[in-house]
Chain A
Amino acid sequence: MKNKLFILFKNNLINTYQVKKTTPKKLILIIVVGLYILGSLIGSLYMFLKTMFDTLLTSGIADYFIPILMIIATIFSFFFTIFSAKSVLFDSKDNNLLLSLPIKRSTIFTSRLLVLIFMNFLINLLFMIPGLCIYIKNISCTIIFYIMIPIILILLPVIPTILASLFGYVVAKITALSKRKNIVEIICYILFIGIYLFFITKAKNLLFLLTDNVLLLNNIIKYIGYPIYLIEKFLVTNNIIYIGIYIIINLSLFTLFVLILSKKYFSIISRLSSHSKKGVYKEKQLISKSKREALNIKEIKRYFSSAIYVFNTAFGVIFFLIGSVASIFYKPDVLTKLVSTNIELDSYSLVLYFMLMVVGFTMTTNSSISIERNNFWILKMLPIETKDIFASKKHVNRLVTLPAVILGLIIFTISSYITPLQLLILVVICIIYNLFICNFGLICNLLFPKMDAINDTIIVKQSAASFVGIMVPLVFTIIIIGVLSTLNLSFQNMALIILAFVIVLWIISNRVLYTWGIKKFKEIA
């Protein structure tokens, strides 16, 4: 049992991260790019957490720093997992193979759950490493603290993973009952986002409220996040009994969850893999399309056939539309809340930065080649120019981004956040930036193709192409916000600088894609 679990877990990781397939040259590139992005991320998180620590220290409640850090990490990993849990646990391509082997269903389920926990462990480290550095630097810690911290870190992702998996289970259960599985899955995720937004608007300035109110903070940690409360107690008293209880709670929940869910596991997988039939086909008049149109329709169908793909890429535009509608009823501070920034900005700058962030995040092309998976031979075999294939993949990205963002900008104009002239300029920036994003996504995917993933989540959320594809626009937008906010420029000047910058990026990316990219596409088999 132990051995099989280890083998499955190891295989899942190898399949997910292609450890053995990566060539040394590519590995170096991944490490360099990864370190650069991680360095930038950890660096900016360090600055944010330092401000938070100083606030807590001034209020005399620095002991709450680690528990708050754990809450942030927990919420973040919960969010990361909620959209991938169903796919990783239930939709893997190797379901039939594994279920036919002499392995307990609970072992298969546990191995997949462990993969999710491991991924969340890595995400938690992003927050915990800079946070712990700040804590250790400013507070004298005992030897027991240093011994216990790895245990705390290893067990920290267990509860958010279980909660997200529970949600994934509910989504799987509902979709298994439905004929239109993908649509139902997308609706489930939209409902979740709706509920999340409802609570976020209710919990106005929660973090600042908590830091001002020790009793409330203590109660919230105690009654909602009891395991974190135990850590807080351990930090104050240095008593390892609390760590003992923390370990028991996490392991008990994990075992209980595995025992209960693995009983239902097989029936859900079976239901998800069964498909309804329409009955006898009645001949109908076929419609002829041009090559380009046929390819575009094929790409759109592929895009909407994967709920995780849709949700992971359309998340930003949904937020943008919600933000724009909210702008009719609220002053600019509603946007500040949505983009989570405390910088004082003019309403047009807010819209501009929000738009840049959303257009950058809405990248479908960085997964669009890998998502072909076993069907890739069809594109390679058909008499189609590679540039037409690229065009159809970019078409989907444009379709997801431009109508929604332009509509959002129009609503922002109606609510007087921006003037009609600013609207025009922003639309031009949006279109050209999107052209660059489409190209950049394809370049990322050509650089890091992953054609043998066992599910769409690995491609959309965990591949090197998706990581680089999202992180680079994020860093780009942060740099733009940082530089332009300090320069205090007028809207026209700011827009001109950004426009010039994105035009240059677009021209360069076009050149790379249609020379190196075409060659690289032909090499992928």
Chain B
Amino acid sequence: MLEIKNVTKKYGNKVAINNLSLEVKDGEIFGFIGHNGAGKTTIIKAIVGIHEFDEGQILIDNKSIKDFPLECKKKIAYVPDNPDIYNSFSGIDYLNFIADIYEVSLEKREELIKKYSDMFELTESLGDLIESYSHGMKQKLTIISALIHEPKLLVLDEPFVGLDPISSKRLKDTMRSLCDDGVCIFFSSHVLEVVEKICDRIAIIKDGRLIEVGKTKDLTKKKDLEKVFLEIENEK
């Protein structure tokens, strides 16, 4: 579903992503970890078409995001690390706007908005302006907006930040259930326990380079992910 081939991204002389390649298959939850400034958000923004990149290719369902941005974006949903959304919209207006852009049918959008807003306990606040929402509520709204057009690839950047424990649990369950339905999930997080628990495969990135990638069960055969991460970070 997602193929990153030799991608390099520079900010002036600074190399943010250095010749990075990896592949994520359908129905797979792929965890992406690294210290602050390692390049996680940069590669995520390149995948979803926010950032341009200098070299390489990113393929979504075998189509290049550079050459076919619209087709690719229709299959992607993105939850950013900071839920900055239109404050002058009410929650329901924002969800309806997203549904309009992704051309979701009326029946489908009503069904999915109800399903996910009930799940994340946001239904009661959907009529309020987003400017009155807390950080966690905005985060829930971006998650719901990412799910209502039934994406094939879900890209999540620190999705658990700001969520209460119940919503956090429900998001994890939803990720697993989407995965079972064949959706591909690519997500970054600093909460290594969560990554270890729900990811099928994990990649570790440092200074824009991929330094480790493998199945979660292989990486954590002898020690927990935190120790593995710290050892790899120190070694390389």
> Which residues of B are found within 8 Å of A195, using beta-carbon distances?
none
Whether A286 contacts B80 in the complex (CB less than 8 A), given A278-B128, A305-B88, A523-B52, comes out as no
Tell me whether A298 and B132 are in contact (CB under 8 A). Answer: no
A280 to B126, CA, bound (A): 8
Tell me whether A302 and B86 are in contact (CB under 8 A). Answer: yes
Tell me whether A374 and B82 are in contact (CB under 8 A). Answer: yes
Interface: A344 (CB within 8 A): no
Whether A375 contacts B73 in the complex (CB less than 8 A), given A275-B129, A522-B52, A525-B51, comes out as no
Complex interface residues of chain B between 69 and 97 (CB less than 8 A to chain A): 69-71, 73-74, 76, 78, 80, 82, 84-93, 96-97
Whether A288 contacts B100 in the complex (CB less than 8 A), given A275-B129, A275-B132, A278-B128, comes out as yes
Interface: A21 (CB within 8 A): no
Number of residue pairs across A and B with beta carbons under 8 Å? 101
> Which residues of B are found within 8 Å of A380, using beta-carbon distances?
49-50
**Closest chain B CB from A51 CB (angstroms):** 47
> Which residues of B are found within 8 Å of A275, using beta-carbon distances?
128-129, 131-132
Whether A383 contacts B73 in the complex (CB less than 8 A), given A281-B92, A282-B127, A288-B100, comes out as yes
Tell me whether B85 and A382 are in contact (CB under 8 A). Answer: no
A291 to B101, CA, bound (A): 5
> Which residues of A are found within 8 Å of B101, using beta-carbon distances?
291, 294-295, 382-384
Interface: A276 (CB within 8 A): yes
**Closest chain B CB from A284 CB (angstroms):** 8
**Closest chain A CB from B183 CB (angstroms):** 17
A522 to B78, CA, bound (A): 18
Whether A290 contacts B100 in the complex (CB less than 8 A), given A278-B127, A375-B86, A378-B85, comes out as yes
Complex interface residues of chain B between 102 and 150 (CB less than 8 A to chain A): 102-103, 105-106, 109-110, 113-114, 123-129, 131-132
> Which residues of B are found within 8 Å of A373, using beta-carbon distances?
84
Tell me whether A293 and B100 are in contact (CB under 8 A). Answer: yes
Binary flags per residue of B30-68, CB closer than 8 Å to A gives 1, else 0: 000000000000000100111110000000000000000
Binary flags per residue of A242-278, CB closer than 8 Å to B gives 1, else 0: 0000000000000000000000000000000001111
Binary flags per residue of A292-318, CB closer than 8 Å to B gives 1, else 0: 011101100110110000000000000
> Which residues of A are found within 8 Å of B132, using beta-carbon distances?
275-277
Tell me whether A381 and B127 are in contact (CB under 8 A). Answer: no
Tell me whether B84 and A375 are in contact (CB under 8 A). Answer: yes
Interface: A94 (CB within 8 A): no
Q: Give the residue of B84, B88, B125 whose beta carbon is less than 8 angstroms from that of A374.
A: B84
Tell me whether B106 and A286 are in contact (CB under 8 A). Answer: yes
> Which residues of A are found within 8 Å of B100, using beta-carbon distances?
288-291, 293-294
> Which residues of B are found within 8 Å of A288, using beta-carbon distances?
99-100, 105-106, 109
* B side interface size, CB within 8 A: 48
**Closest chain B CB from A364 CB (angstroms):** 15
Scoring B45, B88, B99, B132 by chain A CB atoms within 10 A of each residue's CB, the highest score goes to: B88
* A side interface size, CB within 8 A: 39
Tell me whether B123 and A381 are in contact (CB under 8 A). Answer: no
Q: Give the residue of A277, A281, A297, A298 whose beta carbon is less than 8 angstroms from that of B123.
A: A281
> Which residues of A are found within 8 Å of B87, using beta-carbon distances?
305
Q: Give the residue of B73, B99, B126 whose beta carbon is less than 8 angstroms from that of A281.
A: B126
- Nearest to A519 among chain B residues (CB) is B52
> Which residues of A are found within 8 Å of B84, using beta-carbon distances?
373-375, 377
**Closest chain A CB from B105 CB (angstroms):** 8
**Closest chain B CB from A319 CB (angstroms):** 27
> Which residues of B are found within 8 Å of A282, using beta-carbon distances?
127
**Closest chain A CB from B232 CB (angstroms):** 30
Interface: A346 (CB within 8 A): no
Q: What are some 18 contacts across the A-B interface (CB < 8 A)?
A: A277-B128, A282-B127, A286-B106, A286-B113, A287-B96, A288-B109, A291-B100, A294-B101, A297-B97, A301-B89, A302-B86, A305-B88, A375-B84, A375-B86, A378-B85, A383-B74, A384-B101, A525-B51
Q: Return the 10 tightest CB-CB contacts between A and B, nearest first.
A: A305-B88, A374-B84, A294-B100, A275-B132, A281-B127, A383-B73, A281-B126, A380-B50, A383-B74, A278-B127
Query: 15 extra interchain contacts, Cβ-Cβ under 8 A, other than A278-B127, A294-B100?
Result: A275-B131, A276-B132, A281-B126, A286-B106, A291-B103, A298-B89, A301-B86, A305-B87, A374-B82, A377-B80, A381-B73, A381-B76, A382-B102, A383-B101, A383-B102
Residues of A within 8 A of B (CB): 275-284, 286-291, 293-295, 297-298, 301-302, 304-305, 373-375, 377-378, 380-385, 522-523, 525
